[in-house]
Amino acid sequence: MESTSPAAPSVLLPLLRRVPLLMLVCAVPGVVTALHTWIYAQAREPGYPLSRALLVQVPQWQYWAFATPFILALGQRFRLERGVWPRSLAVLLAALVAVMVPYVSIIYFAARATGETWLLESTWARMLPLMMAKYSVLSLLIYGGILAIGYAVDYHRRFREGELAQAHLETRLVHAQLDALRAQLHPHFLFNTLNAISVLVRKQDTAGSIRMLTGVSELLRMALHTTGRQQVLFHEDVDFLERYLDIEQTRFQDRLQVVRAIDPATLGALVPSLILQPLVENAIKHGIATRSGPGRVELRAAREGARLVLEVLDDGPGLAPGWDRQDGRIGVANVRDRLRQLYGDSHVFTLENRDGGGVRARLELPFQSAVPEALGA
């Protein structure tokens, strides 16, 4: 986990814009402590003016209004999170010392300006370490309170963003499932499937027609079974693809050749549910269906270190200029958005023409095993 946030400088400016509001907030404890000082001073020095108490107390509290944006920005850059908190804590404590120097200096000079006799005979250099020690507890409470409020607000914001991302991801999953169902229930798909079944019936191929009907039923059942699950085991996604490919191979008969190069070690990995179906559908629709001769679709899956690499290739005509504005881009956009939501920057998804013709869709995902690695070792 990163210990620092590169966005920290960008958050300082918005915080600085809130200094006027912070000054109003800090004026409250300044006035309260000034009143307390004034009332307490009446017992030992009748006639102690309120203005003198305000001059002593208000500036030191106003100082925190100006220091707060820098403390919050520092807290966001050095988070007290697991794995990095020792270094972050060291930085924040060092910053506390730096913040205290101007703080106690303001107290010193404000007190001298009001004629506090106990300071008039002492120099700033002499009083600095003594005042640092005297105000260390109060400074730590204020400094820690500012950091705590900042962390609470930041965690709440991140929690809300996580909720929104999760909601967005679930919406994308539902769309993917609906797209998968729509693909299977697409009029052309059903027409072609029923036409293939009728051909089998005319040929008195009862077993083949039953296999087709069973395949469609099984495909729909498996699509519904994944409802609500963001990730499934890769072998489940492969099983779904096999049902889909069985039907497509019956439709295209000898025109569709499917080559599989799937490393068994990948079958236990977690992948986004129905992540490959749109890519295979596009490969068949744009790579095979548009040509009169036979074509080939290749499925590849391998583990490369901590990465799971999945590929769908075809030997069709390739991507035409402006392909992303044609039919099929929705499925690709759906895949891209879901990967971004699930893995952020830790994934790679490319769709490009192959040197020898055809299209290659390639996914690189973090290898996430459903079984702890230690158990599988």
Percent residues over pLDDT 90 in the chain? 27
- What is the average pLDDT value for the chain, to the nearest integer? 81
- Tell whether 159 and 194 lie within a shared domain: no
| 258 beta partners | 297
pLDDT in tens, 50-84: 888 898 889 999 999 999 999 999 888 888 877 78
The per-residue pLDDT for 176 is 67
Band (pLDDT 50/70/90 cuts) for residue 104 is: very high
**Nearest by Cα to 276 from 295, 301, 247:** 301
Percentage of the chain with pLDDT > 70? 84
pLDDT of residue 376: 40
Give residue 360's region: left, alpha or beta (phi > 0; psi -120 to 50): beta
Sign of CA dihedral 361, 362, 368, 370: positive
Higher pLDDT, 207 or 323: 207
- Domain end position, chosen among 148, 176, 204: 176
Domain's final residue, options 131, 150, 176: 176
Higher pLDDT, residue 351 or 5? 351
pLDDT of residue 301: 95
64 and 88 belong to one structural domain: yes
- The domain of 362 spans 185-319+328-366
In the prediction, which pLDDT does 371 show?
A: 62
Q: What is the largest CA-CA distance in the chain?
A: 115
Residue 15 located in a structural domain: yes
Give the residue, 221 or 326, on which the prediction is more confident: 221
Residue that wins the pLDDT comparison between 87 and 321: 87
Residue type for 356, please? G
Residue-wise pLDDT for 109-157, tens only, equals 988 888 777 667 788 888 889 889 989 999 999 999 999 998 898 888 8
pLDDT category at 234 given cuts 50, 70, 90 is very high
Among residues 337, 338, 326, which one has the least CA distance to residue 285?
326
For tokens 């290749």, the residue is: 298
Number of structural domains in the chain: 2
Q: Does one domain contain both 253 and 153?
A: no
CATH number at residue 266: 3.30.565.10
Is the pLDDT score of 6 beyond 50?
no
Q: What is the pLDDT of residue 133?
A: 92
Count CA atoms within 13 Å of residue 63 on its CB side: 20
Q: What is the mean pLDDT of residues 256-280?
A: 90
For residue 108, what are the contacts with CB-CB under 8 A and spacing of at least 6? Answer: 119, 124, 127, 128, 131
Burial environment of residue 248 by CB neighbours within 10 A (0 to 12, 13 to 18, 19 or more):
buried
Q: What's the confidence (pLDDT) of residue 358? A: 87
Looking at the structure, do residues 203 and 139 belong to the same domain, yes or no?
Answer: no
Q: Residue 260 pLDDT more than 90?
A: yes
Residue 362: its pLDDT value, please? 95
Residues 216/183, Cβ–Cβ less than 8 Å: no
Q: What is the pLDDT of residue 248?
A: 82
pLDDT in tens, 308-318: 999 999 988 88
The reply to whether 230 and 248 lie within a common domain is yes
- 208 in the same domain as 172: no
- Residues 220, 163 within the same domain: no
Token readout for 71 is: 């403390």
* Per-residue pLDDT band at 291 (split at 50, 70, 90): confident
Q: How far is CA 360 from CA 3, 266, 267, 312, 351, in A?
A: 37, 20, 21, 6, 6
Q: Which two tokens stand for residue 370?
A: 């459903």
